[in-house]
Amino acid sequence: MFVPHLGTDQVFQFVFDEQTGKLTANTPPVLQLKPNTGPRHLVVSQDNRFAYLLNELTGNVTTLALDASGRE
């Protein structure tokens, strides 16, 4: 699970445990973007290889590669 946070220019990363229904911090737990980027919306590609992050303050899209284990 990825949670963009516009105010801190970060994307928080979590792993979902299907057995317990709990989230735990991923490794690394936070992706820090450049100041005043404003990450806002994120979508994962259909093949689960990439995440596309729309940055509200800059108006650009950041492409993030995802590894096969689901961790960034």
From the first residue on, what is the mean pLDDT of each consecutive set of 10 residues in the chain (72 residues)? 96 96 96 97 95 97 84 48
d(CA 72, CA 62): 14
pLDDT recorded at residue 72 = 47
**For the chain, how many residues are written?**
72
Q: Where are the domains of the chain?
A: 2-65
Per-position DSSP letters for 3-44, written without gaps between them = EEETTTTEEEEEEEETTTTEEEEEEEEEEEPPTT--EEEEEE
pLDDT recorded at residue 62 = 97
